[in-house]
């Protein structure tokens, strides 16, 4: 019979060599299409169980421009650890979490004009301007502004007070599949949105869409 001190311990764990993470990020940067390409390290769910704070600090040190989380509470935890890099909240944040996100300078993901209006009003309430990311649904059919009228919706959102359009994104649904026609369709749709947005005189800092599978 095992002692309680042994029973209560896990028998499987992951050991992360931060120098290897540094090496891998430098390889990714070397493959980027342009020297101006930036990397966001997605560290949701405690960096997929590997320790969000340690992984995030190393990722920033190794050249990642920003961090991505799924939840506001994940982002605020990183802020409390002393991380001041841009932090995106990639999931749809509930109304009750928006003020906390704004207070910690997190970048919320906008999936509709209605949510943008709400965040704009919250900014007015607390006297802050918010950097935002607008997510466009180009075919994943989960969350985001539908690509068919995305350019018009983006123009409306960009005109709201207290919001600064930091970036526009989309997410591939099956980039890991060997059959790439649907990913190419999503890429084509996103490029058309970029063209329309620029023609409308809107110039966010970044357009981003390449998850790990798409990048490789």
Q: Which residues of 77-115 are buried (b: 16+ CB within 10 A; e: fewer)?
A: bbeeeebebbbbbbbbbeeebbbebbebebbbbbbbbeb
Mean pLDDT taken over the chain: 91
In a domain, 121, yes or no: yes
172 band by pLDDT with thresholds 50, 70 and 90: confident
Residue range 187-204: mean pLDDT, rounded: 96
d(C-alpha 147, C-alpha 187), whole Å: 11
DSSP 8-class letter at 58: H
Collapsed DSSP state (helix, strand, coil) of residue 39: coil
Please check the confidence at residue 155 and state whether its pLDDT lies above 60: yes
Whole-model pTM?
0.90
pLDDT at 1 (0 to 100):
38
Collapsed DSSP state (helix, strand, coil) of residue 67: strand
In a domain, 39, yes or no: no
Residue range 101-105: mean pLDDT, rounded: 98
**Could you list the residue range(s) of the whole structural domain that residue 172 is in?**
91-215
pLDDT at 216 (0 to 100):
59
Cα 94 off chain centre by: 16
Summarised one tens digit per residue, pLDDT across range 43-73 is 999 999 999 999 999 999 999 999 999 999 9
Report the CATH number at residue 105.
Answer: 3.20.20.10
Cα 72 off chain centre by: 12
In a domain, 151, yes or no: yes
d(C-alpha 76, C-alpha 136), whole Å: 25
Q: What is the DSSP string of 90-122?
A: -S---HHHHHHHHHTT-EEEE-SHHHHHHHHHH
166 band by pLDDT with thresholds 50, 70 and 90: very high
Taking the CA of residue 67 as centre, how many other CA atoms within 13 Å lie in the half-sphere pointing to its CB?
A: 33
Q: What is the tally of structural domains in the chain?
A: 1
In a domain, 19, yes or no: no
Q: Which residues of 2-14 are buried (b: 16+ CB within 10 A; e: fewer)?
A: eeeeeeeeeeeee
Summarised one tens digit per residue, pLDDT across range 4-52 is 554 456 677 788 999 999 999 999 888 886 778 899 999 999 999 999 9
Summarised one tens digit per residue, pLDDT across range 104-150 is 999 999 999 999 999 999 999 999 999 999 999 999 888 999 999 99
Q: Token pair 């068919």 is at which residue?
A: 148
Please check the confidence at residue 2 and state whether its pLDDT lies above 80: no
In a domain, 43, yes or no: no
Q: Which of 216, 65, 89 is nearest to 143 (CA)?
A: 89
d(C-alpha 138, C-alpha 35), whole Å: 26
pLDDT at 146 (0 to 100):
97
Q: Is 27 exposed, middle or buried (0-12, 13-18, 19+ CB in 10 A)?
A: exposed
Q: What share of the chain is helix, strand, coil (3-state, %, to 5)?
A: 45, 15, 40
Q: What is the DSSP string of 134-154?
A: EEEESS--SSSEEGGGHHHHH
- Residue 155, beta-bridge partner list: none
In a domain, 102, yes or no: yes
Task: Name the more confident of 177 and 160.
Answer: 160
In a domain, 185, yes or no: yes
In a domain, 57, yes or no: no
């Amino acid at each position: 019979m095992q002692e309680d001190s042994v029973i209560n311990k896990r028998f499987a764990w992951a050991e992360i060599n931060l120098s290897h993470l540094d090496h891998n990020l430098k390889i990714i940067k070397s493959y980027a299409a342009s020297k101006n390409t930036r990397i966001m390290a997605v560290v949701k769910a405690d960096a997929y169980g590997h320790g969000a704070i340690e992984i995030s600090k190393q990722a920033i040190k190794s050249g990642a421009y920003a961090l991505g989380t799924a939840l506001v509470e994940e982002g605020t935890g990183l802020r409390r650890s002393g991380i001041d890099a841009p932090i995106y909240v990639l999931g749809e944040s509930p109304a009750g979490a928006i003020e906390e996100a704004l207070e910690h300078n997190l970048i919320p993901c906008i999936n509709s004009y209605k949510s943008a209006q709400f965040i704009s009003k919250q900014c007015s309430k607390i006297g802050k301007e918010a950097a935002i990311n607008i997510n466009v649904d180009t075919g994943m059919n989960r969350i985001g502004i539908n690509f068919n009228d995305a350019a018009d919706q983006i123009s409306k959102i960009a005109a709201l007070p207290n919001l600064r359009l930091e970036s526009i994104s989309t997410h591939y649904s099956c980039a890991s599949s060997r059959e790439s026609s649907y990913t190419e369709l999503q890429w084509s749709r996103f490029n058309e949105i970029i063209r329309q947005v620029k023609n409308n005189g809107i110039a966010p800092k970044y357009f981003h869409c390449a998850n790990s599978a798409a990048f490789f």
